[in-house]
Structure 1
Amino acid sequence: MVSGNAASSKSGLYADPREDWLALHTEEIIDPQRPIVDPHHHLWDRGGQRYLIEEITDDIASGHNIIATVYVDCRSMYRAGGPEAFRPVGEVEFANGVAAMSASGGYGKAAVCAGIVSHVNLLLGEAARPVLEAEIAAGNGRFRGIRHSSPWDADPDVAGMYATRPKGLLLDSTFRKGFACLAPLGLSFDAWLFHPQIGELTDLARAFPDTKIVLDHCGGPIGVGSYANRRDEIFPVWRASIQEIAKCPNVVVKLGGLAMRLLGYDFHERPMPPSSEQAAVAWRPYIETCIEAFGPGRGMFESNFPPDKGQCSYQVIFNAFKRIAAQYSEAEKTALFSKTATDFYRLKLG
């Protein structure tokens, strides 16, 4: 049922986007009028890679009816000085500035960065609270929560850029003192991890039932490094973890992140980029499993651009999602493409 090729040995969990390669395949937009909230993208200008407001609005202009987006933590534009703990406040200031640019109407009708998710080091414990309060102030009504990435794996070919992250972060008692600061401030938590760690997040979610949590990227199923060429063996393990965490009513899931190299597909190495039909075949087992476990009211399709842009275009990624969602009712499609994200992030649209 779940097939696919192992990724190459090149380092990195996602491939760099190549506009010339992506341009080799274009598609008509499926269901072009459907409103979409893209609840997970990044903006950055570093390492020769630029993905700022012009780039995301160009992608949005390729045809899908994106009405709003949510910016998610990626260490962009941290303050260069001042107390270390408060440097991530710069990212909120940056994303709010982009939101203000978007709100001018000069970059299309989508409300880019209508919601903002940044980072606070929860290993500060109770000292995380003043940083969270500073980010709320910097967000000008748009700041919704944080992400404290916790991917960890013993295999350095899997861990990649996260190789220095601590094992068992979500179980750490000091981390949990910081995590306890979120709910009283009305803030949510984006959880980015690898699939063997989903059980740790389940434990955290049960310990803090009043904190809203979103599991990013279908729970980070791995198909590279020591996990390569073991898809049929690993899929049931991942599925069982998804089914267990879905029992936590405070957790929702983002449906995407599957065009990163992490999953183990080699689309980025092929002469032509994938069509939405090809992408849908690869991703359907993961997305359908998540929707079956969580229900459409607790799932939201995400672009995860630009990381997922390494394997497919914005046209293709949302066309693939629309193909997968074709079996669901109109109300369920509305939840998956816009309502779950709007409700979870309390977006003020219109």
Structure 2
Amino acid sequence: MSTAHNESAPKQAVPHNPVRPEWLALREEPALEPGLPIVDAHHHLWEFPHKSYRTHDLLADIASGHDIRATVFVECKTHYDADAPAELASAGELRFALAESLDGQRRGAKTRVAAALVGNAELALGAEVGRVLDHLIDVGQGRLRGIRNIAVWHAQVRASAATPPAHLLLDATFRAGVAQLEPRGLSFDAWAIHTQLPELSDLAAALPQTRIVLNHVGGPLGLGPYRGHRDDVFAAWRRDVAELARRPNVFVKLGGFGMPLFGFDFERDAVPPDSASIAEKLRPYVETCIDVFSASRCMFESNFPVDKGSFGYGVMWNAYKRLAAGASDAEKRALFHDTAAHFYRLES
């Protein structure tokens, strides 16, 4: 597999798969183990000119039958304050998420929507980001638990709409910004692809007191020059994710598999995939993460509505439950509830 970099090659962001309700309706399944408590460790809420996903949409998905006790809202650059200084504009997103959570309460939802918030702050400000973090903590009304700065970068593949610079995780000023999190009780949500895992491992070693959670199992690429080379990518990803797991301050989110960058192509079938076929494709990645991190540092996530273009919410949780079928009761509780509840400091 050739991985030669071409800095001048044009790159376009890989779009999310469009959500097709009529297609998703072709596949429904009753919930497996409906009494198993779940914290959805990663989802978005947004309102953009071309797409919307609000609390009522999430609750409609949750109505598929699984016991979703609470959810973690993760930044997605929605509802920024247009009239605020650029470094403080993301406070508007936290206010939006809090309002959406209140909407869930008004609807009488059993699920605590956005019980924890992961916001955005420009950590490349270095130590100066401290005042921004203090402002976001105040705006978050006790729910802000972490900060995410997307670091996804590749010379040939643009796997995210974000456009961070190369080697952001190694930048000294950026690291000075990350160092501001731990003293304020905040964690770092890291979204990086498989070619960047050594950089994240280096960051975790440099800041051992900072709790870090890797999003979407570290994005083993299955598109561009990596399409058709899944075994080679898996071997490289497995090696580097095992090294990352040696850092005790790092956790991992199991999910995001519906994004095009994984190259699973679930969306191309005439009908949505069933949970058994999803589980079969995801098993090597999920089992590897649980093996090297242990269930106490792994948490399942929906990544909705991003993954909704590939499969339904209820079917997805069934797939995860199939993957955990051989786990002990304690391990299942950790994977689906306790690890996320501990990491994001949620009440039981």
Shift, 1:88, TM fit = 0.5
* Residue correspondence of structure 1 range 161-200 to structure 2 within 5 A: 161-162=161-162, 164-200=163-199
Deviating beyond 6 angstroms after TM superposition, the runs of 4 or more aligned structure 1 residues are none
| 1:114 paired residue number | 115
Q: Output the amino acid matched with 2:159.
A: A
Of 74, 77, 102 in structure 1, the residue corresponding to residue 76 of structure 2 is: 74
Higher mean C-alpha deviation, range 91-100 or range 107-116 = 91-100
Shift, 1:107, TM fit = 4.5
Shift, 1:132, TM fit = 0.6
CA distance in structure 2 between the aligned counterparts of 1:308 and 1:159, rounded to whole angstroms: 14
Mapped contact 2:13–2:159 kept (Cα < 8 A): no
Superposed CA deviations along residues 65-123 of structure 1, whole A, max 9, x for unmatched, are 1000000010011101121100011111111122222234x142000000000100001
Mapped contact 2:55–2:101 kept (Cα < 8 A): no
CA distance in structure 2 between the aligned counterparts of 1:142 and 1:240, rounded to whole angstroms: 35
| 2:299 paired residue number | 300
TM-score (norm 1): 0.94
Shift, 1:10, TM fit = 9.8
Mapped contact 1:57–1:107 kept (Cα < 8 A): no
Superposed CA deviations along residues 289-346 of structure 1, whole A, max 9, x for unmatched, are 0000100010000000011111000011100000000000000000000000000000
CA distance in structure 1 between the aligned counterparts of 2:167 and 2:207, rounded to whole angstroms: 17
For these two proteins, the number of residue pairs brought into alignment is 338
| 2:269 paired residue number | 270
Mapped contact 1:96–1:138 kept (Cα < 8 A): no
| 1:87 paired residue number | 89
* Residue correspondence of structure 1 range 94-133 to structure 2 within 5 A: 94-104=96-106, 106-133=107-134
Mapped contact 1:60–1:314 kept (Cα < 8 A): yes
Shift, 1:225, TM fit = 0.8
Shift, 1:279, TM fit = 0.3
* Residue correspondence of structure 1 range 1-350 to structure 2 within 5 A: 12-104=14-106, 106-156=107-157, 158-162=158-162, 164-349=163-348
| 2:8 paired residue number | none
Q: Output the amino acid matched with 2:318.
A: N
Mapped contact 1:124–1:174 kept (Cα < 8 A): yes
Mapped contact 2:152–2:160 kept (Cα < 8 A): no
CA distance in structure 2 between the aligned counterparts of 1:341 and 1:287, rounded to whole angstroms: 16
TM-score (norm 2): 0.95
Q: Secondary structure at the match of 1:229?
A: coil
Structure 2 residue runs without a partner (length 5+): 1-10
Q: Secondary structure at the match of 2:161?
A: helix
Shift, 1:13, TM fit = 4.5
Q: Secondary structure at the match of 2:221?
A: coil
Shift, 1:16, TM fit = 1.3
In structure 2, the CA distance between the partners of 1:32 and 1:278, relative to structure 1 (3 Å rule), is same
Shift, 1:12, TM fit = 2.1
Mapped contact 1:218–1:290 kept (Cα < 8 A): yes
CA distance in structure 1 between the aligned counterparts of 2:316 and 2:51, rounded to whole angstroms: 20
In structure 2, the CA distance between the partners of 1:36 and 1:160, relative to structure 1 (3 Å rule), is closer
CA distance in structure 1 between the aligned counterparts of 2:161 and 2:102, rounded to whole angstroms: 31
Q: Secondary structure at the match of 2:137?
A: helix
Mapped contact 2:18–2:309 kept (Cα < 8 A): yes
Q: Percent identity?
A: 47
CA distance in structure 2 between the aligned counterparts of 1:341 and 1:41, rounded to whole angstroms: 13
Q: Secondary structure at the match of 1:189?
A: strand
Mapped contact 2:212–2:249 kept (Cα < 8 A): yes
